[in-house]
Amino acid sequence: MSVGQPVLRIPELGPSLGKLVTGTGTVGEGISLDANRCRLATKVMEMAGEARRLAANEERAAALGTLGRDAWMMAWEEGVAPVSAKLVDYLTAHLEAEADAVRMPRRARKKIMIDETERRAIGVRMGSSGAGLIPLLDEIETRSVALQRATKFERDVLDDWQRAQTAAARGLEAAWLELEQRVDQEYSVWRSVADEIARWRKPLWPVVLTGVVGVVAALWSGLVLGGLVVPPAWMSAFWQRIRFQ
């Protein structure tokens, strides 16, 4: 601890994480995010524990950095990325299974499957559920700078920093709940695509066209062989060559 500065006390963040710790008690569609949720909550509490250890060793700057803006943002991004990847993998497998069931050809599949562009777009949509975190993390940055400069007489500066930390924890909970909703929405959108695939049937016109051509050819050949239609010159020449070989 620097001389003349207030003792850095790290707030308990677990209670402020709310449903990020306890879960919502509802089962989403498609995939389970419980493991990802617990991993993110654990990461934040580990950050707080490490900051508490550093503060006890009077490593003030390091403690503040451990719960700084960048650390919070990294925790969020590391929590969202696996969720996005898990969702895309699940959706891709589901679409492929439906396509296999109706024997959809590869060329037709390419038009509706999740390509790399759509994969990135899904990642962006999932990540943007944390947009509300940005101003809260900016507030942490502001309060951290002020706390670094504060004297022991400016107790309110420490209080403001602690409030910013708990506000960020509540914001993280809200961001996660928004993420879960977006996962369900994304699943619903692609479920409708899967339903369209399930209704797909191989086009009948090639079969019909082949059948019509075959019938016409057979009828015409019958008329020619029966002497009812004069055969074209090329057919007469071909027939003569076969007869005299």
pTM of the model: 0.77
Q: What is the residue-level pLDDT of the chain in tens, covering all 245 positions? A: 445 677 899 999 999 999 999 988 666 567 889 999 999 999 999 999 999 999 999 999 999 999 999 999 999 999 999 999 999 999 999 888 888 888 888 888 788 888 899 999 999 999 999 999 999 999 999 999 999 888 876 889 999 999 999 999 999 999 999 999 999 999 988 888 888 888 877 654 454 455 555 655 666 566 666 666 666 666 566 656 665 55
CA distance 208 to 197: 23
CA distance 10 to 48: 7
Sign of the alpha-carbon torsion through 99, 103, 105, 106: positive
**Per residue in 155-210, pLDDT tens?**
899 999 999 999 999 999 999 999 999 999 999 888 888 888 888 776 544 544 55
Assign 3-class secondary structure to 199-232.
HCCCCCHHHHHHHHHHHHHHHHHHHHHCCCCCCC
CA distance 198 to 92: 14
For the chain, percent helix, then strand, then coil, each to nearest 5? 75, 0, 25
Would you give the distance in Å from CA 238 to the centre of its chain?
66
Structure tokens that stand for 11 in this block: 């707030």
> Do 47 and 65 contact (CB within 8 A), yes or no?
no
> Do 17 and 166 contact (CB within 8 A), yes or no?
no
